Amino acid sequence: MSSPIRPALVVFGALTLLCGVLYPLAVTGVAAVAFPAQAAGSIVEVNGKAVGSALIGQAFSSPQYFWSRPSATGPMPNNGAGSGGSNLGANNPALIDAVKGRIAALKAADPANTAPIPVDLVTASGSGLDPEISVAAARYQAGRIAAARKTDSAQVLALVERHQLKQYFGFFGEPRVNVLELNLALDQAKPAAKQ
């Protein structure tokens, strides 16, 4: 009876050491050497103070900033420890009501804007942590931001173009902008006179 137990315990201990200790340490070490910024969380700093991560979305609510994609993480939005979507189907009444509420909030914040609302401004991503929005979503918000900052909307649109990230590998996905980096660029830009 004791003969099969000893080899099983030895294999269990060896696999625990290999898969639970050595492999994670090796992967962490390679990541720290090959991708130090990403391994450290892609922290964005301003004047030596951390203001967020380039890889995790943040909620912005002021009209003078670009707003991020909605987040469905719990118990709070953009919770890196609770990544996940809402799992609500397209015809779920709760999702329909949430989208209608987001559309109403966008229209209330910028009543003069009659452009179609980009879908990524009213729907959460699968992870709930998306730090980027489409270029169309950024352009949609330019008028509201320009009015709130008392500047020319052409200046805001120019910032969007300068901070546009291209498609992955030149063909995968769509052009996009990182919301945190774009908002930091807004704060650094000198306001142009409204025309």
Range of 10's domain? 1-40
- In this structure, the answer to whether residues 144 and 72 fall within a common structural domain is yes
- In this structure, the answer to whether residues 174 and 85 fall within a common structural domain is yes
- The answer to whether residue 194 is domain-embedded is no
pLDDT on residue 122: 95
- In this structure, the answer to whether residues 15 and 28 fall within a common structural domain is yes
- The answer to whether residue 93 is domain-embedded is yes
Share of the chain above pLDDT 90, in %: 65
- In this structure, the answer to whether residues 123 and 137 fall within a common structural domain is yes
pLDDT on residue 2: 61
- In this structure, the answer to whether residues 58 and 127 fall within a common structural domain is yes
pLDDT on residue 157: 96
- The answer to whether residue 195 is domain-embedded is no
**Total domains in the fold of the chain:** 2
CA dist., res. 161 & res. 138, Å (int): 10
Q: Is the pLDDT of residue 191 over 90?
A: no
Half-sphere exposure of 108 (CA within 13 A, CB side): 7
The pTM of the full predicted model, rounded to 2 decimals, is 0.81
Q: Which of 140, 180, 175, 174 shows the shortest CA–CA distance to 157?
A: 140
- In this structure, the answer to whether residues 30 and 54 fall within a common structural domain is no
Q: Which two tokens stand for residue 160?
A: 């969007």
